[in-house]
Amino acid sequence: MKTFFIFSLLLLPLLASCAERKQVYIVYFGEHSGKKALHEIEDTHHSYLLSVKETEEEARASLLYSYKHSINGFAAVLTQDEASQLSELEEVVSVWASHPKKYSMHTTRSWKFVGIMEEEERHWTSNKMGGDFLSKARFGKDIIVGVLDSGVWPESKSFSDEGMGPIPKSWKGICQSGPGFNSSHCNRKLIGARYYLKGFEHNYGPLNASEDYQSPRDMDGHGTHTSSTVAGRLVPKASAIGGFARGTASGGAPLAHLAIYKVCWAIPGQSKADGNTCFEEDMFAAIDDAIGDGVDVLSISIGTSHPVNYTSDGISLGALHATKKNIVVACSAGNSGPAPATLSNPAPWIITVGASSLDRAFVSPVVLGNGIRLEGETVTPSKLEENNMYPLVYAADVINTGVPKDMAGQCLPGSLSPEKVKGKIVLCMRGSGLRIGKGMEVKRAGGVGFILGNSAANGIEIACDAHVLPATSVLYKDANRILKYINSTKHPIATIIPARTVLHTKPAPFMASFSSRGPNVIDPNILKPDITAPGLNILAAWSEADPPTKLNGIDHRVAQYNIYSGTSMSCPHVAAAAALLKAIHPSWSSAAIRSALMTTAEIRNNLDMPLNDESGNAATPFAYGSGHFRPTKAADPGLVYDASYRDYLLYMCSIGGFKDVDPKFKCPGSQPTATNLNYPSIAISKLNRAITIKRTVTNVGAGKSIYFFTSKPPLGISVKASPSMLFFDHVGQKKSFTITVKARKEMLSKHDKDEYVFGWYTWTDGLHTVRSPIAVSLA
């Protein structure tokens, strides 16, 4: 008993410490009501803090951000009890804690491939509309694109303002100074730049100046890459290290203006190759400022590691406020594929973007001692001696003692024996660890080169890297052939042929294995992702403070342009297309722009076959959404599915569990169903016999036109529209229709629970084809 009493006394301070543990919480009130001065809004937020804090000094010290422009709320350091007290207030919509690892970044040829820029040889998307489309859009002139990311490298030629027009009068932002960045770095291209790190520093302490700049300057490369993809200038003779992908680098909207919001930072003591971190309270502040600054489009290549409810997701709520100001928000779907139900950013007011390939490869074959030649890919500039063959080994056969068997072939740090590796080419397999890290391990152990073999899950996707020694990457089946050869002879030998750039490869596009997949687990009634765009091996500008491998201190190379992969790369492609459409159709809503992009997307590849996934099988809308984006077609979609800010509030009422986001709006007594949100796609989860869904289209094509309904129903499902013909006599006219989706009797008795089937329906007038995907699972 005495021992227990002493133990209890020792435990009490620990329990008290846990009870009083403080962290950052976001307190969200929804939309601002009325017009208050900014200082009045901050004073109001302080008053709420004072109601749970003991002193005014403590209340003011706890405040990190006061969100004042469109978003009404604040981020503050609170105890769990204080946060709970605030959450019980009637005017508070939601309160949630910020977590350090909740968000991360989702880490040229593209514009010719999708038909925006001309090239001599006609191919898959080739048409004469590309030049006309850019001219009509005036190359994005006067459109302002905000980018939330890791900052920017302002000296890049991609951000030159030569020949740019004046800064739009609507712009209200600033050019924030800091180490390595001052007002002179902003120009008519980079018209604004800010940085946000209060949330980061609360969690990690003061920023280490050797790891990142406390300014908008990019020490990572990711932000420079995404910014130049969306709106970089035309830069002739650009290429990655080694001359790969040489050509004219350009963003999709080269005359659009850029506003940079640095919200992602290097994690202390961790390699940038492992990723940065982006704090929710910092991003919420950036989105609030971007709305106040006057951006037209937001490109956000950041997301959660797992799905998060809308009202606990800073990006989702920030994007909703942006939508009220008619700002188009494009976000990356995530890099957690090909597993199902992994995508982030699923809110229906966001354009959620998956990643697919280009029709370009960087071919670097492996030649084995038995004469077999296997195709590989790389953007590694290092080369082996010409006409020389080298000893070839499998990593699992040359490891140090103590390396676990399941990790033996993966070339993890410290795993290889220098005695067994020196002077040889090593076959390493993908799985655990970084791709570039495997090459570093081979180099450390004295290898002369290495071959990176895909895992079965990677399929036909090969992500190319600028390795630090001669290297190439091969498909899983070819890695197995190499391993079989190694095991078939006492003295296996091989060489790696230097890479060359090859265009018009087939099939293309195909879905990248890393691209996160649906279904949407937050609300299965919204089909996500919305669309796919190029995200595999994309060339764009890079930070000269970070090597192409992001291995600082090990890789000392400097790159002005770099090849990078991820839905982070596909997102700015769609943001650029949205900017061009906004320039052509300034009166269109953000929903109309999303609809135009979705209903005109392509679902076949350059072999005129259905888009396939990384395994060569037919992909589904849970991978590509409506298809691969075609901006030139989106300029003239014929019909659009429009939706307003009020429609999204009604939608939030329909899914339940939320307080009113806007004080001027109250959920009606008879709430609409979530499936009736006027979305350009249809998703039905757990269908029980039949359901009827309402949609409304707006005519943006010819004044007088007749559209006919057709469908390719999902297997075992019937899809019928009423009416099946739509008559329009003027532009802007709206027509509503219902679609009845019904399971056939045989399907009801023979189906796997929760298994989805897919199809689509279209409206066509002979000139326009307005296509919407359908996904259905049965109860």
Residues 251 and 116: beta-carbon distance below 8 Å: no
Per-residue confidence (pLDDT) for residue 122, from 0 to 100: 35
Task: Write out the two tokens for 349.
Answer: 């007011």
- Tell me the CA distances in angstroms from 283 to 26, 98, 290, one per residue in order: 11, 11, 10
Per-residue confidence (pLDDT) for residue 155, from 0 to 100: 98
Largest CA distance in the chain: 91
Q: Which residue has the tokens 């529209």?
A: 721
Per-residue confidence (pLDDT) for residue 20, from 0 to 100: 66
Q: What sign for the dihedral angle of Cα 275, 280, 282, 287?
A: positive
Say which amino acid occupies 282: D
Task: Write out the two tokens for 344.
Answer: 């982030």
Task: Write out the two tokens for 124.
Answer: 């898959």
Please name which of 642, 657, 760, 636 lies closest in space to residue 710, comparing C-alpha atoms.
760
Query: Could you state, in chain order, the average pLDDT of each consecutive group of 10 residues for the chain (779 residues)?
Result: 41 46 92 81 94 93 94 96 94 91 70 56 42 86 97 98 95 98 97 98 95 97 97 94 89 97 94 88 97 98 88 93 97 94 96 96 95 95 93 96 86 95 97 90 96 90 91 96 96 96 93 95 96 95 94 89 95 98 97 98 96 93 97 96 96 79 83 92 94 98 96 96 98 98 79 86 97 95
Q: What is the pLDDT of residues 662-697, one digit of tens each?
A: 878 888 888 788 999 999 999 999 998 999 999 999
Residues 698 and 734: beta-carbon distance below 8 Å: yes
Per-residue confidence (pLDDT) for residue 5, from 0 to 100: 40
In 10 A of CB 279, how many CB atoms? 29
Q: Name the residues annotated as catalytic.
A: 149, 222, 568
Strand pairing category for 235-238 and 247-249: antiparallel
**CATH fold match for the domains 23-97 and 638-643+678-778:** no
Q: What is the CATH number of domain 131-356+510-634?
A: 3.40.50.200
Q: Which fold has domain 23-97?
A: Alpha-Beta Plaits (3.30.70)
Please name which of 270, 73, 261 lies closest in space to residue 173, comparing C-alpha atoms.
261
- Tell me the CA distances in angstroms from 222 to 252, 302, 368, one per residue in order: 17, 11, 37
Query: Where in the chain are the domains?
Result: 23-97, 131-356+510-634, 360-503, 638-643+678-778
- Tell me the CA distances in angstroms from 329 to 263, 293, 349, one per residue in order: 16, 15, 8
Residues 432 and 412: beta-carbon distance below 8 Å: yes
- Tell me the CA distances in angstroms from 591 to 352, 659, 723, one per residue in order: 13, 24, 24
Spell out where 634-679 has E strands: 639-640
**Does the domain made of 638-643+678-778 have the CATH classification 3.30.460.10?**
no
* Angle of CA points 210, 148, 169, to nearest 5°: 115
Distance CA(36)–CA(42), nearest Å, equals 10
Per-residue confidence (pLDDT) for residue 621, from 0 to 100: 98
**Does the domain made of 360-503 have the CATH classification 3.50.30.30?**
yes
- Tell me the CA distances in angstroms from 195 to 198, 268, 516, one per residue in order: 10, 18, 28
Q: For the chain, percent helix, then strand, then coil, each to nearest 5? A: 25, 25, 45
